[in-house]
Amino acid sequence: MPVRHALLGLLEQRPRHGYELHRAFEAVVGGEKNWDVKPAQIYTTLARLKESGLVTEEGLERAGGPDKRVYNITEAGREELRRWFDTPVRTTHQRDEFFLKLMLSLASGDVDPLRVIYVQRASLYQELHRLTIHRGEADPESDLAQILLLGQAIMHLEADLRWLEMIESRLDEVRRQPLPTPEIRPRGRPPSRGARG
């Protein structure tokens, strides 16, 4: 629910209308290339926040164009925002598409797992190169938040590359182990007690 809490955080600064919230969100995350949120999602989220009593609609702003609804955070919204700040972010690394691809390549017999690793490694190096250049071009005077975000992404890529090296070094050992197989359960309904007789 990060968009929900981001809107609460932006409204805690001051009341805003939907378009302004969309622009402020993009500014905080460093642009839509980092986190693309559509205006429709902003307005849908605002409607839900209003239904939950976390924001109120304060009125309309008229600036020569169409009327714009101005939203403000409520005390309940501030409490929700404080809870969010006090709760750690859970990252899930258990659902990894590459891991699934690697395991299926081991099971298929038709795909070389080393090739799967090499393809993934090449892609990670390309992304690492792109992000490193992008971080180097950022201005530390005005783009510090962007530099920090890029640094996090670069460190994740470096960790993924080390993980691939570890997998490659142990691939023969993994191949020697039996592949996981599901427990086969009988299909259909269990026999009724009267039928056992």
Which range of 67-71, 97-101, 109-113, 129-133 scores highest in mean pLDDT? It is 129-133
Q: How far apart are CA 87 and CA 85, in angstroms?
A: 6
- Tokens representing residue 111 in the block: 């795909």
At 148, the amino acid letter reads L
Rounded to the nearest 5 degrees, what angle is found at the Cα of 185, between the Cα atoms of 93 and 111?
50
| Residue 124 pLDDT | 95
The string of DSSP codes covering 71-126 is EEE-HHHHHHHHHHHTSPPPP--S--HHHHHHHHHHHHSSS-HHHHHHHHHHHHHH
Residue 112 has pLDDT above 70, yes or no: yes
pLDDT tens, position by position, 133-168: 999 999 999 888 889 989 999 999 999 999 999 999
63 within 8 A of 41, measured Cβ to Cβ:
no
Average pLDDT estimate for 118-137: 95
Q: How far apart are CA 126 and CA 84, in angstroms?
A: 35
| Residue 100 pLDDT | 85
